[in-house]
Structures are given as structure tokens and as C-alpha cells.
């Protein structure tokens, strides 16, 4: 053949157009023919072909198992011209109860495990259809309910779609990656899907959100928790959404003979598609790398009854913190990205919940209509023959004579058709009628069958004429399937935030925070300081420089919000756990590294807040004695660069801040040992905004200054009489009465290390801005001893006293004597010559143990 003759058959084509067209054809072939499920039966072609091939082989649930290799060979040879591993993998997945919410194939043998163990070779395993697959997907397939097309070589016919009776697309979900698109549809509960479908039949105008009353969310085969409904609602209303799945874990105490009880985290359900073996490897890796602490042992106690992973904890571990770390760093918590993409009318479409049910409902209506038309045609054909037989029975002798006189069958058929106006089919039926059908009993049966067929034909025509009848049939069929195959929901939808924040990974331990005058801060566990007896030397709490001293010392929980008030009247905020932890010998971290404050600005008061209550206030007291009450809620959102807390006049400073309620009372002490006690009610101290100055708190003597402030709770404050402006008056209680007082008390501590408990009843209520009354007498008539701290304490409280050199002593309040206001107190701490008490912090009962909240 010459080149000229051959070149005449070459078609010139633009390369760009050819590549574009070929790639588009390939992409659509993958999208429609391989990767995405059909919205009508919810199946991909490979799954559909496997189920149909098994149906043709007669592998129903009431028949014996057959080798999977036989099924794979049938599928490859007739319908699916691809690799055998692709077919076998698809078959295996349809038999795994941890992959499918309702498996469609019943497997016999090793079909893999949740540990990602591979299934046995197909020559070893056996399979058959589940009853659900037969009744819900393949029923009526031989009644022309769906279209059939040629297979790959035209030698066989295969169904284009299966006549599904339930929305299989949502029931078992689907996942697949096509060209330029992917699908990931979660599985759902059969009973809920049926309820939603029935509701949609009765109320077609329902919205996606209204359907969620019947279908609240996915139901995964492995159970677990779904956190919140935000992601579910987004997926149902838009077709795309992210859901947070979390394992089911409980904290138990394990007891065994010969060993101490230990707490353990027990995992009984895993998120969907989580590999248990890989999960345990990940946990072990994190423990070895010390990224998760507190785990002593890890073992898998799972068996045929279910999953049980035991994570045994160390004695000092906090179970909730360890569990939150596991959620954060391991597949115990995962995100499921729903992408509800399926083939509708030959094109990929993103489906909402309602849209997917509507597509199925429309398909089911068409399938029932086609099934009814098929049944109608068969009934009419049969009735047509019966009508011919009835004609023959009515003219039995003449028909017999006509047949006997005919020379052959063709002539007899023709004469019957001409004589009695019969069709060819009716004439053939008469000629083929057996003699036993001529008895009276058989004639009566034909009459009854004809009447029944007439009723059926009328019913079929009524169904085809009225859509409501079709919908009633759909409802009846799905309700029967629900009664037979529905199971309880496995996945629980819990109202929780799936995001694990930093605070969830921190134990809510009780700590003490120490701030020095030069602006160093550190956090220490409260059990760093063991309780000592009165008159002890104490323990060093910080490495204090010679020109520095402890300024603030208080207890809190690590989850508390710490408010820092500066002398300029500004407030800053940090979480307690954000303050670096240090040892007793550590100096601490410069506070300017944690807060955006100028070096010349000084923190004068620190408040720990667990919750910003609406009925609580902050009382602020300045160096010049101005006091102000502002709602605590006003400080719930503090900017990173701080917030104005109080307006100060020239030369004044904010010094003390305390939390209070309106019914509480306030007690303020001065350096010269005076104290004033008044109510925090609105008539004495009305609430003011942040940018205000306040009112006068106490009338000070010349040379005196304020030393502190504390709050007396309302339950105690209500015992007092009406306020009096009289600042004089002697103490009425005897020393014996004072010694046996049940509290609470005003704890008075002087700079020289002396202290006492004074019953609060000795500090009568006065009006604000008075002179106050004497709180204590000093040991020496000199300026060396002054009032250092004034605190409200109760029985069971503990005290931490801090000196200017950073020496800290911890002791029980009840070890300090109860004395009157006129007493000088007892020695609380022995001090070095150049040391003095600067402050004291009160710890609530139970602080001896650094227990987590």
C-alpha cells in the first residue's frame, strides 16, 4: 500500500481539542461507571454486579454458601472486566459488619478485622446474600422494574440499577474518588431512614432541618459519639459538612489481688474506619516519645463480644487530662468529612438530605409503576386466554365437533377464530386444553380465576391512575422492612464541642502563685509546702534578690482566669496554667514577658476567677483610700493590651481588689492597727462603671496608711446589728468567750511575725468613711511593728505567710490562738533580723492534697 493511499485516511485533529475530549470522556467514564454511586440504589457498578451475579447463582440467604472465587469468576466473566482483586475487595467490604451498617453479604471464613488484618484468599472464603439484600435490593428485578443493558461484550444483559426498596445510598453510605471529585456519604440507621421517608411522603414540603427530627444524624457501624449537630446540619442542608467522631471511653478503677487499685481508661467503641492496631501503635509511640504522660500500661482485651482497649494509668496521673490528650493526638477523635455526591440522571450532583430521599422516592414510584404495568400485562394476557376457554366451555359440544371434523391443527385454529371471534392465542389455548379441564369442577376454577384476574386488573389500573396508591405501597413496603431488619442506633449524638483546647490538656490542680515587688512571677503546686506547726522557721519559696521582696501570694486552680491589676488602674488577664511553673528555689519569670505592661508599671493586686458570675462584683481600693464596686462581668473579656479598671486622680494608685456580692461586708485595715467594717450593699457602695474613681473608704489618722482589705460573706455579715457611726466602745466579750469562738475570725498578722484570730463579732458594722476601731495592740511602742495583713478565715483553712526575703511558712489557721482586739497575738514565725512579714494567703480546706478539680 502506498503512502498516498494510506494518508488519505488520516483525519487532521487539533491536539488540544483531542486531549480535552479524550480526557473528558475518560473522566466521565470513571465518574459514572466506576467511582460514584447511583443515587437510586446507592451502589457503584462493581457492587451492583456482585449482588446481581450472586442472585443469578441462587445464593440467597436460605441457600448454602458458595466459594467467593466462584462469585468473583462469575462477575469477571459476565459483567466486570477488571482485576479480580477489585471485585473481591468490594465483596469483602459488603460482608464486614464494621464497614457496613447493614452488611449486604453474609461471609463465611476470614473476612478481615477492624485491626486491618487482610481477608483470607477468595479460594478459602464463602459467601451468600443477606436477607436484607434479597428483599430490599433485588426483589422484583425480574418484573421489568429496571432497565437492562448489554454487558461489556454484548453476550449478557445486566441491570442498569437495582430496584431498591430502601434508600441504600444513605443506609450504608458510600466513599469513592473519581476524577476531580470525590464522595463520602456516612451510613444511617434503617429505622430512622424509614421514619424520615414516611414523613416526607406525608409532608412533601418538609425542609432538611425538619427531616432531622426523624433522621438526627449518621449511625456508624462501630458506634462511637458524634459531637454536636452543627456538622450534621451543614451536611444535610448543603451536601457538605464535617462531623467530629469520638471513641467511647470510660474511666474505671481496676482492682487485682496483690496490687493497689489503679485507674484506667477503657475504650469500648471506636470512630468509624479507625484501625485499632494502628491506634494502639500510635498511643505507644506517643508514650515512648513522652508526648503523652501518665500511661503505665496499654493492652488490647478485645474479643468476639466487642472492643475493649485498656489504658492503665500511673497513680499520679489525671485520667481526664490523659484522655483529652489521647483525643487530641490520636485517632480516638477524628473528623468525618461528609461529601454527599452521587449520580443523578447520569450526572454527578451534590445532594442534601431531602434531595437524596426525593430522588429515591421518585425512582421507587417509577419502579412500582413499571412493576404494576408488568403485572397488569401478565394479568390481561392470562385473562384473555381464560376468556377464550370460557367461550369454549360455553359451546363445548360444537367446539369438540369442529375440532374433530378439522383435517389438521391449523384448520381447527382458523375455524375456531372465525366461528367464535377468538384470537390466535385463545384458539391455541383451546386446542391445548386437556380433557380433564372439561369437568364441571375445572370449569368453576376457570370462572373463579377469571373473576380474580378482573379484580386484579382493576386494582392495577387504579394504582397506575392514582399516585397516592403508589405512595401507600411504598410506605407499606418500607414499614415491613423496618419491622424485620431495623436495629437500635449505635452512634450517640452528644452535645459537646469537638475542639480540644489547651485548657482540656491541663490538669486543674491547685496551685499557689507568687509575685515579687520587682515583677517576677511563678506558679507552684500547693503541696510544695507541707503544713508546719506554729512558731516554725518556714521553707524558702523563692530565690529572692536582696533588693526584692514578695508582693502577692495566693492560691488558685490551674484552669482559673487570673486578673492582674496595676497601680495605674489597668487590668490584664492570663490563664493560671499559662504562668510558668517553677520550683521553690526558682526566682520566677519576669511578668513583663507574660503581660504587655511597661517596666515602670507595677502589679498591685491579683484575682483568680473561675466563673464570671452576674451577681458578683470587684471591690477596688486605692492607696488614697478611694473604694469602688464594679460588676465582675465587666471584666470577662479583657483585651491583650489590657483594660481600664478604675479612674485614678493624680498621685493615687490602685492597691487592692477583692470579689464580693451585694450582701457581703467589707473590712479594711490600716498600718497603725485600725480597722473599719461596713456593708457592700448599694446604699453604702453603689455599683460604678470601669472608668470611674469611687468614694472614700476610711478616715485615716496622720501618718497612717491602708494595709489591706477582705470580704466577709453574707451568711456571716447578716449576724451584725445596724451600722453605727460611733467609733468608740469597749470590747464586750470576755477572753474566755473569745477563746471558744466558733468563727469566722479576722486574722491579724503584724510585720514582726505575731498574729491572732479575732472573732468577727468584735468588728461591729459602721458606716463607710469612718475612723474604724482598734484591730490589734503591738508588742512594742515603736514604729518597728506594724499591721502586715488582715484576712477573714474559717476553721479548716490553711495559711501561707510570706516574708520580704521569700521565706514561706504554711500552717493551719486553728493552730493560731483566738484573742480579742486588744491582745498582741502569738508568734507565728521566727524572722531574721532584716526580714519582715509582707503578706499572707489563705488556702481553702482540702488544700493539703494537690487534687485536681
Q: CB–CB of 313/227 below 8 Å? A: no
Strands 492-494, 225-227: pairing is parallel
> Does residue 512 sit in helix, strand or coil?
strand
Active-site annotation holder among 79, 88, 124, 572: 124
Cα torsion through 288, 290, 294, 295, rounded to 10: -20
Q: CB–CB of 203/178 below 8 Å? A: no
- CA geometry: angle at 266 spanning 263 and 270, to 5°? 155
Beta bridge partners of 792: 746
For residues 158-177, one letter each, b for 16 or more C-beta atoms within 10 angstroms of the residue's C-beta and e for the rest, the string is bbebbbbbbbbbbbbbbbbe
In a 13 Å sphere around the CA of 218, the CA atoms on its Cβ side amount to: 39
Beta bridge partners of 605: 565
707 contact partners, CB below 8 Å, separation of at least 6: 669, 670, 671, 786, 787, 788, 789, 790
- Spatial distance between the Cα atoms of 357 and 215, rounded to a whole number of angstroms: 11
Strands 341-344, 333-339: pairing is unpaired
- Spatial distance between the Cα atoms of 761 and 757, rounded to a whole number of angstroms: 12
DSSP single-letter state for residue 132: H
- Spatial distance between the Cα atoms of 801 and 789, rounded to a whole number of angstroms: 9
Q: How many residues does the chain have?
A: 853
666 contact partners, CB below 8 Å, separation of at least 6: 619, 627, 658, 660, 677, 678, 679, 680, 685, 709, 710, 711, 712
Short-list 122, 127, 124, CA closest to 87: 122
- Residue in the structure block whose three cell numbers are 478616715: 699
- Spatial distance between the Cα atoms of 96 and 102, rounded to a whole number of angstroms: 9
Distance of alpha carbon 545 from the chain centroid: 50
- Spatial distance between the Cα atoms of 800 and 552, rounded to a whole number of angstroms: 11
Beta bridge partners of 789: 749
- Spatial distance between the Cα atoms of 219 and 101, rounded to a whole number of angstroms: 8
Q: How many CB atoms sit inside 10 A of residue 432's CB?
A: 10
Q: CB–CB of 677/665 below 8 Å? A: yes
Phi and psi dihedrals of 595, rounded to 5? -125, 145
152's grid cell:
461489556
- Spatial distance between the Cα atoms of 587 and 124, rounded to a whole number of angstroms: 71
551 contact partners, CB below 8 Å, separation of at least 6: 515, 516, 517, 603, 604, 838, 839
Q: How many CB atoms sit inside 10 A of residue 800's CB?
A: 24
Q: Is 124 a catalytic residue?
A: yes
Phi and psi dihedrals of 830, rounded to 5? -85, 130
- Spatial distance between the Cα atoms of 754 and 828, rounded to a whole number of angstroms: 5
Q: CB–CB of 819/526 below 8 Å? A: no
Short-list 450, 465, 580, CA closest to 513: 580
Stated as kind and residue range, the H or E segment containing 463 is: helix 440-465
Q: CB–CB of 628/695 below 8 Å? A: yes
- Spatial distance between the Cα atoms of 775 and 415, rounded to a whole number of angstroms: 135
**Which residues are identified as catalytic?**
124
Amino acid at each position: 500500500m502506498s503512502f498516498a493511499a494510506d494518508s488519505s485516511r488520516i483525519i487532521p485533529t487539533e491536539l488540544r481539542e483531542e486531549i480535552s475530549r479524550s480526557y473528558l470522556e475518560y473522566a466521565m467514564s470513571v465518574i459514572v461507571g466506576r467511582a460514584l454511586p447511583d443515587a437510586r440504589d446507592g451502589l457503584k457498578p462493581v457492587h451492583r454486579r456482585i449482588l446481581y451475579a450472586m442472585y443469578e447463582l441462587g445464593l440467597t440467604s436460605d441457600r448454602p454458601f458458595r466459594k467467593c472465587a466462584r462469585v468473583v469468576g462469575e462477575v469477571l466473566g459476565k459483567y466486570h472486566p477488571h482485576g479480580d482483586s477489585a471485585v473481591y475487595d468490594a465483596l469483602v467490604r459488603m460482608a464486614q459488619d464494621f464497614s457496613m451498617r447493614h452488611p449486604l453479604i453474609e461471609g463465611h471464613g476470614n473476612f478481615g478485622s477492624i485491626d486491618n488484618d487482610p481477608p483470607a484468599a477468595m479460594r478459602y472464603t464463602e459467601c451468600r446474600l443477606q436477607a436484607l439484600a434479597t428483599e430490599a435490593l433485588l426483589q422484583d428485578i425480574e418484573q421489568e422494574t429496571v432497565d437492562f443493558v448489554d454487558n461489556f461484550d454484548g453476550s449478557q444483559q445486566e441491570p442498569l440499577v437495582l430496584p431498591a426498596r430502601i434508600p441504600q445510598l444513605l443506609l450504608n453510605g458510600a466513599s469513592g474518588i473519581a476524577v476531580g471529585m470525590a464522595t463520602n456519604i456516612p451510613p444511617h440507621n434503617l429505622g430512622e431512614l424509614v421514619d424520615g421517608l414516611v414523613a416526607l411522603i406525608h409532608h412533601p414540603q418538609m425542609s432538611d432541618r425538619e427531616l432531622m427530627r426523624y433522621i438526627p444524624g449518621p449511625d456508624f457501624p462501630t458506634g462511637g459519639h458524634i459531637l454536636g449537630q452543627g456538622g450534621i446540619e451543614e451536611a444535610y442542608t448543603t451536601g457538605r459538612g464535617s462531623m467530629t467522631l469520638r471513641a467511647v471511653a470510660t474511666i474505671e478503677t481496676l482492682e487485682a489481688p496483690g496490687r493497689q487499685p489503679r485507674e484506667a481508661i477503657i475504650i469500648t467503641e471506636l470512630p468509624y474506619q479507625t484501625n485499632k492496631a494502628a491506634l494502639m501503635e500510635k498511643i505507644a509511640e506517643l508514650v515512648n516519645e513522652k508526648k503523652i504522660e501518665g500511661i503505665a500500661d496499654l493492652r488490647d482485651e478485645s474479643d468476639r463480644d466487642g472492643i475493649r482497649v485498656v489504658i492503665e494509668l500511673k497513680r499520679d496521673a489525671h485520667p481526664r487530662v490523659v484522655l483529652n490528650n489521647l483525643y487530641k493526638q490520636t485517632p480516638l477523635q477524628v473528623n468525618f468529612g461528609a461529601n454527599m455526591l452521587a449520580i443523578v440522571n447520569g450526572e454527578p450532583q451534590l445532594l442534601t438530605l431531602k434531595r437524596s430521599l426525593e430522588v429515591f422516592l421518585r425512582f421507587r414510584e417509577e419502579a412500582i409503576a413499571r412493576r404494576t404495568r408488568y403485572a397488569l400485562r401478565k394479568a390481561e394476557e392470562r385473562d384473555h386466554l381464560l376468556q377464550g376457554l370460557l367461550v369454549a366451555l360455553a359451546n363445548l359440544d360444537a367446539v369438540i365437533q369442529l375440532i374433530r371434523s378439522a383435517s389438521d391443527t391449523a384448520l381447527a385454529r382458523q375455524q375456531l377464530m372465525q366461528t367464535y371471534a377468538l384470537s390466535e392465542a385463545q384458539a391455541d389455548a383451546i386446542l391445548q386444553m386437556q380433557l380433564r379441564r372439561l369437568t364441571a369442577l375445572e370449569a368453576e376454577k376457570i370462572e373463579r380465576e377469571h373473576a380474580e384476574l378482573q379484580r386484579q386488573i382493576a386494582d392495577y389500573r387504579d394504582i397506575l391512575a392514582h399516585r397516592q396508591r403508589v405512595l401507600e405501597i411504598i410506605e407499606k413496603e418500607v414499614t415491613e422492612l423496618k419491622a424485620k431488619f431495623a436495629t437500635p442506633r449505635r452512634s450517640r449524638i452528644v452535645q459537646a464541642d469537638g475542639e480540644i483546647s489547651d485548657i482540656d490538656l491541663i490538669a486543674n490542680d491547685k496551685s499557689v502563685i507568687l509575685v515579687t515587688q520587682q515583677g517576677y512571677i511563678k506558679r507552684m503546686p500547693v503541696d510544695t509546702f507541707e503544713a508546719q506547726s506554729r512558731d516554725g522557721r518556714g521553707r524558702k519559696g523563692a530565690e529572692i534578690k536582696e533588693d526584692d521582696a514578695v508582693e502577692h501570694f495566693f492560691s488558685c486552680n490551674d484552669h482559673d482566669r487570673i486578673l492582674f491589676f496595676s497601680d495605674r488602674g489597668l487590668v490584664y488577664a492570663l490563664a493560671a496554667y499559662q504562668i510558668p511553673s517553677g520550683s521553690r528555689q526558682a526566682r520566677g519569670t519576669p511578668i513583663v514577658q507574660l503581660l504587655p505592661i511597661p517596666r515602670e508599671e507595677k502589679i498591685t493586686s491579683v484575682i483568680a476567677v473561675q466563673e464570671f458570675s452576674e451577681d458578683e462584683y470587684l471591690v477596688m481600693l486605692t492607696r488614697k483610700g478611694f473604694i469602688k464596686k464594679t460588676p465582675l462581668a465587666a471584666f470577662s473579656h479583657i483585651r491583650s493590651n489590657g483594660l481600664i479598671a478604675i479612674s485614678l486622680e493624680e498621685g493615687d494608685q490602685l492597691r487592692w481588689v477583692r470579689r464580693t456580692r451585694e450582701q457581703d461586708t467589707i473590712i479594711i485595715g490600716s498600718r497603725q492597727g485600725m480597722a473599719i467594717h461596713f456593708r457592700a450593699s448599694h446604699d453604702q457602695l453603689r455599683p460604678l462603671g470601669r472608668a470611674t474613681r469611687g468614694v472614700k473608704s476610711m478616715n485615716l489618722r496622720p501618718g497612717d496608711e491602708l494595709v489591706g482589705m477582705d470580704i466577709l460573706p453574707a451568711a456571716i455579715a447578716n449576724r451584725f446589728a445596724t451600722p453605727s457611726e460611733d467609733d468608740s466602745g469597749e470590747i464586750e466579750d470576755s477572753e474566755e468567750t473569745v477563746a471558744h469562738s466558733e468563727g469566722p475570725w479576722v486574722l491579724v498578722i503584724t510585720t514582726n511575725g505575731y498574729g491572732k484570730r479575732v472573732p468577727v463579732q468584735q468588728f461591729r458594722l459602721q458606716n463607710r468613711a469612718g475612723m474604724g476601731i482598734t484591730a490589734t495592740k503591738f508588742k512594742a511602742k515603736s514604729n518597728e511593728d506594724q499591721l502586715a495583713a488582715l484576712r477573714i478565715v474559717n476553721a479548716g483553712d490553711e495559711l501561707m505567710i510570706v516574708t520580704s526575703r521569700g521565706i514561706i511558712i504554711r500552717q493551719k489557721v486553728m493552730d493560731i490562738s483566738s484573742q480579742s482586739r486588744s491582745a498582741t497575738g502569738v508568734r507565728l514565725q521566727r524572722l531574721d533580723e532584716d526580714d519582715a512579714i509582707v503578706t499572707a494567703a489563705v488556702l481553702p480546706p482540702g488544700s493539703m492534697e494537690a487534687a485536681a478539680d
